[in-house]
Amino acid sequence: MKHALRPTRYSTLAVLLALACGLSGCFQPPRNMPNDSVIGYDGTGAVPPDCATLSRPAILTDAGKHRPSMQWGCATYTNLAAQLAHPADIVAPQPLGPADGATAASAMRRYETGHVTPLDKSSTRDSN
């Protein structure tokens, strides 16, 4: 009978290091990072954030010199603002309706069998 697998020193050290990192908070996102509240609404549509306000100084150095500041989330939230179908939802989001399992299952069945219902042209448009 073979001996049971014993953890090596390296795997034990790796587990302890990961546990210490997790308990000390090094897996947490940096503080003061922007969220979706940086997207504005001007009454007619979504307004992308002012990227200068999202600028955060670098905390890392490269050969002793500080790296340039970065505009965290600027591209993400600018693209999100451009993709909003109903920009008024930024100010007053609509509540999510109840789930309809039968409709979802029917849609999946049509997709799997290749019988997809075409889009309703009166309420949707092509991306062209």
Residue 34 contacts residue 72 (beta carbons within 8 Å): yes
Distance CA 104, CA 112 (A): 12
Distance CA 77, CA 90 (A): 12
Structure tokens at 35: 């969220």
Q: What is the pLDDT along the chain (128 residues), one digit of tens a residue?
A: 555 556 677 777 677 676 666 565 555 555 666 777 788 888 788 888 888 888 877 777 777 777 777 787 888 888 888 888 777 777 788 888 888 999 999 999 999 999 987 877 787 666 55
pTM of the prediction? 0.43
User: Domain extents for the chain?
Assistant: 30-91
